[in-house]
Chains A and B, each alone.
Chain A
């Protein structure tokens, strides 16, 4: 192996060449803005650490942080739960569920529509007087009065989380299935012959071998989730109504930059978000590997 040491560089060289050209400059520029007051027009004005002291005492940012976690957390729990359940069903040799190709494709469909169309669609469906969701729920008797979904903080957050789940459970399912398909079929056959029950098969074969892919799902969903903004922006007034409950971190960043022209402060929010993401990713990595170590030990 030692001989081959330098060979790896050739394989990753194209990636990093392009990466440096197209990503580094914008990122460094953004970092410079964090020390400035900059309207996005003309020249940035250097103001030292003012933006950093501001963000530490900014109640709206804290609120955005909490909102983001609430929405993402609920969405992720549901999405991963559904996807794992489906993956377990389809990988179970005993069920021999037919039409996996069909279902996998169909479950992914919601992800094909652009987010702005999704927002338009759900705006109409969630309308509290004429929306089809209320009409449907009242018809089947689940609720007796129409619910004004997007007018109360709790229901607004739940609505957004559910829409996100709807959009992404198929994606997570596909990714998990790609991982499952990498698991040698003999293992399942062996388990079947040995009479392991479904739960045992799932816990002792599927889950451990899915771990790298699960890590991928968790990290990418965390990154994507913490950057959540277009749906909350498009489905309400763009300010995170009602009562700021849909004000997520990136929506806040977006509004500071493009609505109020505080580029310097928006850049600072970007870096705060970056830091938060790094911290939680490290925590996720660590905890995944710790449980891993425990299992093996």
Chain B
């Protein structure tokens, strides 16, 4: 009987061995692969925008590049164990501005300031704030970026002409160059049944860009500027004066509002059915950065192509951006550097890239040559490229901290609670401090 019982153990063993054999098979297969892989460059990113550049790179250098895309929400989760242990790591990986600052101070990315890269020599070639963001706290360059992502206000020209008497970007920018001016425009639009912005969140970038200071200083103190305190009031005013359309970013209403009027309820407690049915409104403008044109407006508002313009808000700002660097443990650093170089300062490639995708470059030598050629049909022929370059120059470098992404989110949530009338301003600010402290116990709040 004993013998029979040990059967189950034997079975386990057999299964185990079988699986291990299977594994070692695949292991050796991938081992062989590794040898053959010698000239395969592994690149990880969270979008597929590198797909075309990789094709170009493969053709130019006669090598193979393997691109792995991980959705942005899971990108840090996937990268963390890999970069910590160094197993299965890529040779090149990108970072979004949301987690860029958390990574620059680790030794995940190769220090590009040292030999043979000498990225410091390139400093003057890049837009200040973009170059600066890729540095660690000691000033070493860890990652570079080919793009710059400043923002503006995209507006509908037909509405501007009808209500404000002009659709000229400069004149409109002038009108909206201050908070008072912005609200004045909002008032005029409201009188004609339009809404200035889709929702209150639209002004958060202006609040952030006004009086630019880092969220947390060297002494780990949270810096609450007046501009940020005013953000509460400005947002509340937008809601109370009905300058917004209850269409929060990325919501179905938001997407729908770009191509035409949307249903609108001015506060659900006072809506009666007839009004709800007939109450439609159209949103005038959206605060979006460079990429907003291609990945938000164009897909959502195909039919209104040509009826759009872009101008400045009260404060210059930037939103998003992708940086690229070499994994410090990579065994193919030369090839990896070739790729990073192509992406960030190969004139021929970047010229083609900018012309094809409309992406605004951070590399000045190419920008100087091509910026005047742009004329965007979607924006009625406006040169958005030059517009955004001008905006990029105005952005203060060196104020992004590793805390920004999360603290901005916490602040936005509290502003919304104040706007919704669930908290007083004082309560909301108090709760904000409490949450910052809870998330980052090392930060001292006012």
Contacts and interface: CB of A to CB of B under 8 A. Distances in A.
Partners in one complex: yes
Interface of A: 7, 10-11, 13-14, 17, 40-42, 54, 58, 60, 124, 127-130, 138, 144-148, 151, 237, 239, 241-243, 255-256, 258-262
Contacts of B253: 127, 129-130
Contacts of A13: 8-9, 12
A129 B263 contact: yes
B268 A146 contact: yes
Contacts of B9: 10, 13-14
Interface in B259-283: 262-265, 268-269, 271, 273, 276
A239 B409 contact: yes
A10 B263 contact: no
Contacts of A239: 409-410, 413
Interface of B: 5-6, 8-9, 12, 76-77, 80, 84, 102, 106, 246, 251-253, 256, 262-265, 268-269, 271, 273, 276, 406, 409-410, 413, 416-417, 420, 422, 438-441
Given A129-B265, A145-B271, A41 B106 contact: yes
Contacts, number: 73
Nearest to A7: B5
A129 B5 contact: no
A225 B356 CA distance: 51
7 contacts: A11-B8, A40-B84, A41-B106, A129-B263, A145-B268, A260-B440, A262-B439
A262 B403 CA distance: 13
Contacts of A258: 76-77
A127 B102 CA distance: 34
A261 B439 CA distance: 9
Contacts of B5: 7, 10
A17 B106 contact: no
Contacts of A11: 8
Contacts of A255: 439
Given A258-B76, A260-B440, A130 B8 contact: no
Most A CB atoms within 10 A — which of B84, B246, B251, B263? B251
Contact of B251 (A127, A146, A241): A127
Contact of B84 (A41, A144, A145, A242): A41
B247 to A, nearest CB: 8
A17 B413 contact: no
A242 to B, nearest CB: 8
B12 A14 contact: yes
A130 B256 contact: yes
Contacts of B268: 128, 145-148
A3 to B, nearest CB: 10
A239 B410 CA distance: 8
A147 B268 CA distance: 8
A144 B274 CA distance: 11
A266 B256 CA distance: 40
A61 to B, nearest CB: 10
A127 B252 contact: yes
B252 A130 contact: yes
Q: Which A-B residue pairs are the 9 nearest by beta carbons?
A: A260-B439, A14-B12, A10-B5, A145-B268, A130-B252, A10-B8, A127-B252, A145-B271, A146-B268
A241 B413 contact: yes
A258 B73 CA distance: 11
Given A10-B9, A14-B9, A148-B268, A40 B80 contact: yes
Most B CB atoms within 10 A — which of A10, A128, A147, A255? A10
B174 to A, nearest CB: 34
B409 A60 contact: no
B162 to A, nearest CB: 25
A40 B422 CA distance: 36
A253 to B, nearest CB: 13
A60 B438 contact: yes
A115 B263 CA distance: 30
Contact of A243 (B12, B251, B409, B422): B422
Given A41-B106, A151-B420, A17 B256 contact: no
A215 B413 CA distance: 41
Given A128-B268, A130-B263, A259 B406 contact: yes
A259 B439 contact: yes
A129 B80 contact: no
A54 to B, nearest CB: 8
A151 B251 CA distance: 14
Nearest to A40: B80
Contact of A260 (B12, B252, B269, B406): B406
Contacts of B441: 54, 262
Contacts of B410: 239
A122 to B, nearest CB: 13
Contacts of A260: 406, 439-440
